[in-house]
């Protein structure tokens, strides 16, 4: 399960000879990372980025980590870098490991969050709003530096509106009256409603209405949560599951049912940037979910919703870290 940072550069990895399962990887030379703590390093041509770096739990006490670490550092040297930067290490044991194995030393300290910095978020939802509630809770707990300025629903009776009212968040319904207006007219009305909120980011949390190209162009900072394991390459139609099987990418409104019907053994949750093509924007965060044989739909949805909440918060933290 590669991270998006690993996909932005090169990587060494190790596989089990018998099963082909991934044992570990060490990435290097990621390009285009937007994290605010890299601002002092982006323009230094002699500094290459090392990481992320990960090992399966049962091989962490062996020599594999050292081999992968030095292979990646050598690859950075081959590409002409004189120094390697490990961008963020929060674990003291891992910092000691890098110091011991790579002669690394701390060069800068920083905090992940920036006090006083907040971004305006407008949420679009169509249903129960459990992801919206997870977002509300994260903001109230100080986990996310967002101001939830408006919830817009495309149904009058969606429970997400009640969640907004209970949290003191402005809300409204913008419903497509199909017998009274064209699709184009509705799209224009929806765009105008969102524009009035002046959002820094638009969040689609269970939004079940395909947005127009004009809407996507107007709000380039827009994220969607999707109940499937999406690939790092938006053009790909297959994705590798944690057990190293290759499964189809389930896009569209019926992703959960499609995964169950296909019998692939895996579902997941992903947050991606929104483009004109449905569920094909750049990936922000994802996590897999093993499907249990014979599991009731209610149980699966509970497990999936819990996973979606985690992935949503992770993706939004990353989005805030990447802001200028």
Q: What is the pLDDT of residue 32?
A: 86
First to last CA, the chain: 28
Catalytic residue among 209, 226, 254, 272: 226
Per the structure block, which two tokens stand in for 313? 């918060």
Q: Is 309 a catalytic residue?
A: no
Angle subtended at Cα 79 by Cα 74 and Cα 84, rounded to the nearest 5 degrees? 60
Q: What is the pLDDT of residue 1?
A: 47
- Provide Rg for the chain, Cα atoms: 22
Positions of the chain with pLDDT under 70: 1-2
**Which domains, ranges and CATH numbers included, belong to the chain?**
4-102 (3.40.630.30), 119-321 (3.40.50.170)
Per the structure block, which two tokens stand in for 205? 């949390």
Q: Compute the distance between CA of residue 157 and CA of residue 150 in angstroms, rounded to an integer.
A: 17
Identify whether the C-beta of residue 90 lies closer than 8 Å to the C-beta of residue 55: no
Q: What is the pLDDT of residue 2?
A: 55
Query: pLDDT tens digits for 224-266?
Result: 999 999 999 999 999 989 888 899 999 998 999 999 999 999 9
| Sign, CA torsion 300/210/187/121 | positive
Q: Compute the distance between CA of residue 189 and CA of residue 171 in angstroms, rounded to an integer.
A: 16
State how far the alpha carbon of 285 is from the alpha carbons of 10, 147, 157, 270, in Å. Answer: 19, 21, 30, 6
Three-state SS letters, the chain = CCCHHHHCCEEEEEECCCCCCEEEEEEECCCCCCCHHHCCCCCCCCEEEEEEEEECHHHCCCCHHHHHHHHHHHHHHHCCCCEEECCCCCCHHHHHHHHHHHCCCCCCCCCCCCCCCCEEEEEEECCCCHHHHHHHHHHHCCCCCEEEEEEEECCCCCHHHHHHHHHCCCEEECCCCCCCCCHHHHHHHHHHHHHCCCCCEEEECCCCCCCCHHHHHHCCCEEEEECCCCCCCCCCCEEECCCCCEEECCCCCCHHHHHHHHCCCEEEEEEEECCCCCCCCCEEEEEEEECCCCCCHHHHHHHHHHHHHHHHHHHHHHHHHCCC
Closest listed residue to residue 110, CA positions, set 44, 26, 35: 35
Query: pLDDT tens digits for 157-189?
Result: 999 999 999 999 999 999 999 999 999 999 999
């Amino acid at each position: 399960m590669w991270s998006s940072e690993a996909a932005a550069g090169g990587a060494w990895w190790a596989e089990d000879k018998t099963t082909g399962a991934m044992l570990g990887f060490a990435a290097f030379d990621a390009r285009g990372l937007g994290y605010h703590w890299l601002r002092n390093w982006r323009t230094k041509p002699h500094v290459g980025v090392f990481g992320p770096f990960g090992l399966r739990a049962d091989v962490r006490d062996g020599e594999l980590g050292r081999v992968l670490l030095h292979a990646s550092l050598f690859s950075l040297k081959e590409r002409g870098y004189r120094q390697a930067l490990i961008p963020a290490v929060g674990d003291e044991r891992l910092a000691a490991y890098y110091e011991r194995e790579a002669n690394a030393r701390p060069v800068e300290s920083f905090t992940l969050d920036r006090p006083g910095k907040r971004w305006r978020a407008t949420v679009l939802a169509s249903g129960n709003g459990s992801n919206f509630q997870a977002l509300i809770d994260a903001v109230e707990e100080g986990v996310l530096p967002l101001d939830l300025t408006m919830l817009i629903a495309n149904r009058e009776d969606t429970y997400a509106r009640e969640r907004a009212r209970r949290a003191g968040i402005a809300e409204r319904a913008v419903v497509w009256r199909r017998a009274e207006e064209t699709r184009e007219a509705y799209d224009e009305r929806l765009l105008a409603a969102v524009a009035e909120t002046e959002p820094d980011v638009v969040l689609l949390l269970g939004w079940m209405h395909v947005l127009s190209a004009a809407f996507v162009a107007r709000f380039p900072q827009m994220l969607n949560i999707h109940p499937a394991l999406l690939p790092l390459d938006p053009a790909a139609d297959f994705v590798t599951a944690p057990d190293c099987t290759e499964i189809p990418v389930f896009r569209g409104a019926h992703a959960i049912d499609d995964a169950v019907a296909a019998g692939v053994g895996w579902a997941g949750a992903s947050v991606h940037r929104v483009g004109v093509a449905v569920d094909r924007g750049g990936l922000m965060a994802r996590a897999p979910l093993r499907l249990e044989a014979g599991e009731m739909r209610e149980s699966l949805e509970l497990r999936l919703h819990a996973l979606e909440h985690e992935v949503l918060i992770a993706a939004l933290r990353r989005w805030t870290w990447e802001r200028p």
